[in-house]
Amino acid sequence: MSDDEAKKSAPFDEPRWLAGFEKETGTPPVATSPHGAPARNPLYTARDGVALSESDTTPGAAPFTRGAYFSMYTGRPWTVRQYAGFATARDSNRFYRDNLARGQTGLSVAFDLPTHRGYDSDHERARGDVGKAGVAIDSIEDVAVLFDGIDLGAVSVSMTMNGAVLPVLGAYFALAAERGNPPQRLRGTIQNDILKEFMVRHTYIYPPAPSMRITADVIAECSAHYPKFNPVSISGYHMQEAGATAVQELAYTIGNGLAYVEAALAAGGAVDDFAPRLSFFFGVGMDFFTEVAKLRAARRLWAELVRERFAPSRESSLRLRMHCQTSGVSLTAQQPLNNVVRTTVEALAAVLGGTQSLHTNSFDEALALPSDRAATVARNTQLILRHETDVCETVDPLGGSYLIESLTDSMVAQARQLLQEVDAGGGMVAAIESGLVQRRIARAATERQVRLERGNDKLVGVNLYVSSDEREPEIRRIDNAAVLAEQRQRLERLRAMRDQRAVDESLGRLRHVAESGEGNLLRASIDCMAVRATVGEVSAVLEELWGRYMPKDNNVTGVYSAGFDADPKWAALRARVDTFEARQGRRPRLLVAKLGQDGHDRGAKLIASGFVDAGFVVDLAPMFRTPEEVAKIAIDHDVHAIGISSLAGGHETLVPRLLGALRDAGAADIAVVCGGIVPAEDRQALIEQGVADVFVPGTPVLDCIDRVLNVLSGEVA
Residue 493 CB partners (closer than 8 Å, separation 6+)? none
Centroid of chain to Cα 168:
19
Please report, as a single letter, which amino acid is at residue 669. Answer: D
The Cβ of residue 714 has, within 10 Å, a number of other Cβ atoms equal to: 7
Considering 69, 83, 119, 560, which one is annotated as catalytic?
A: 83
* Element (DSSP H or E) covering residue 316: none
Considering 323, 594, 640, 651, which one is annotated as catalytic?
A: 594
Specify the 3-state DSSP secondary structure of 64.
Answer: coil
Helical packing angle, 288-310 and 246-266, nearest 10°: 30
The Cβ of residue 572 has, within 10 Å, a number of other Cβ atoms equal to: 11
CB 132 within 8 A of CB 480: yes
State how far the Cα of 227 lies from the Cα of 247, in Å rounded to an integer.
Answer: 32
Q: Is 552 a catalytic residue?
A: no
Considering 116, 132, 238, 605, which one is annotated as catalytic?
A: 238
CB 539 within 8 A of CB 205: yes
Residue 707 CB partners (closer than 8 Å, separation 6+)? 673, 693, 695, 717
Considering 600, 605, 640, 651, which one is annotated as catalytic?
A: 600
State how far the Cα of 41 lies from the Cα of 406, in Å rounded to an integer.
Answer: 10
State how far the Cα of 124 lies from the Cα of 126, in Å rounded to an integer.
Answer: 5
Q: Is 116 a catalytic residue?
A: no
Cα dihedral: 184, 186, 191, 195 (round 10)? -10
Which contacts (CB < 8 Å, 24+ apart) does range 423-429 have? 427/259, 427/262, 428/195, 428/252, 428/255, 428/256, 428/258, 428/259, 429/195, 429/208, 429/212, 429/259
State how far the Cα of 663 lies from the Cα of 128, in Å rounded to an integer.
Answer: 19
Alpha carbons within 13 angstroms on the beta-carbon side of residue 289 total 20
Q: For the chain, how many residues are written?
A: 717
CB 462 within 8 A of CB 452: yes
Sign of CA dihedral 403, 405, 408, 410: negative
CB 672 within 8 A of CB 659: yes
Q: Which conformational region is residue 698 in: left (phi greater than 0), alpha (psi within -120 to 50 degrees), or beta? A: left
Give, in order, the Cα–Cα distances in Å from 631 to each of 130, 551, 562, 616, 710: 22, 20, 33, 19, 22
The Cβ of residue 471 has, within 10 Å, a number of other Cβ atoms equal to: 7
Asked if residue 370 has a cis previous peptide bond (ω within 30° of 0), the answer is no
φ and ψ at 647, to 5 degrees?
-125, -15
Alpha carbons within 13 angstroms on the beta-carbon side of residue 424 total 8
φ and ψ at 592, to 5 degrees?
-100, 125
Q: Is 96 a catalytic residue?
A: no
Q: Is 83 a catalytic residue?
A: yes
Q: Is 237 a catalytic residue?
A: yes
Q: Which conformational region is residue 473 in: left (phi greater than 0), alpha (psi within -120 to 50 degrees), or beta? A: beta
Query: Where are the strands (E) in 55-126, listed by range?
Result: 79-84, 106-109
Cα dihedral: 154, 235, 50, 315 (round 10)? -50
Considering 287, 457, 598, 682, which one is annotated as catalytic?
A: 598
Considering 172, 204, 206, 237, which one is annotated as catalytic?
A: 237
Q: Is 598 a catalytic residue?
A: yes
Nearest alpha carbon to residue 170 among 190, 155, 187, 194: 190
CB 589 within 8 A of CB 621: no
Catalytic residues: 83, 237-238, 594, 598, 600
